[in-house]
Amino acid sequence: MKRALLFLPLVLGAGLFFLFNQMLGHDPSELQLARKDQPVPVFSLPDLHQPDKLITEADLKGRPMLVNVWATWCPSCRVEHPYLLKLAREYGVTIVGLNYKDEREAALRWLVELEDPYAISVFDEEGRLGLDLGVYGAPETYVIDAGGVIRYRHVGVVDEKVWQTVLAPLIESFGS
């Protein structure tokens, strides 16, 4: 009986091995997008700045835009932030911020301190919209066309390279 107990680590190790083996070759930066080429899911969430004001999927239509998933607990978001400011200010890109599983106060402080690149800020405290979108973590950035259809999902930091080689050409291709 005691000897049988000693096999426990081996069994647990085998379980982990099975998991890793399944996950391998599954590059998280190319996670399949369940909602690719589908409309933004139906949602109704408060505005980060005005808790009384509700934002819905209808607000995400009319022009191509980026939806940026961020949170104050996410260090890479801080790295990414200055570049988002540049995109919004110098390139005139419309960016919707999806504040994900965060605290309202901390998020507002962040936007005051680091400045606010977002045309609209959605406050997704419980991560509901995040779940519907299939958000893996923060930061993530979705490209949405003028008709409100999700066209692309980028996992990780958006920087000059990502913008110039991936996002900008994509937006240009359907922007006009």
**Where on the chain is the footprint of other proteins (CB under 8 A)?**
2-3, 6-7, 9-10, 13-14, 16-17, 19-29, 31, 71, 73-76, 78-79, 82, 85-86, 101, 113-115, 131, 134-138, 155-157, 160
CB atoms within 10 A of CB 57: 15
- Closest approach of Cβ 117 to other proteins, in Å? 11
- Closest approach of Cβ 156 to other proteins, in Å? 6
- Closest approach of Cβ 51 to other proteins, in Å? 21
In sequence order, the β-bridge partners of residue 150 are 144
Q: Is the CB of 8 or the CB of 53 nearer to other proteins?
A: 8
- Closest approach of Cβ 123 to other proteins, in Å? 17
- Per DSSP, 167 falls in state I
Q: Is the CB of 10 or the CB of 105 nearer to other proteins?
A: 10
Q: Is the link from the previous residue into 139 a cis peptide, with omega within 30 of 0?
A: yes
Q: Is the CB of 59 or the CB of 83 nearer to other proteins?
A: 83
Q: Which residues of 136-170 are buried (b: 16+ CB within 10 A; e: fewer)?
A: eebbbbbbbbeebbbbbbbbbbbeeebbeeebeeb
Residue in the structure block whose two tokens are 């998020």: 107
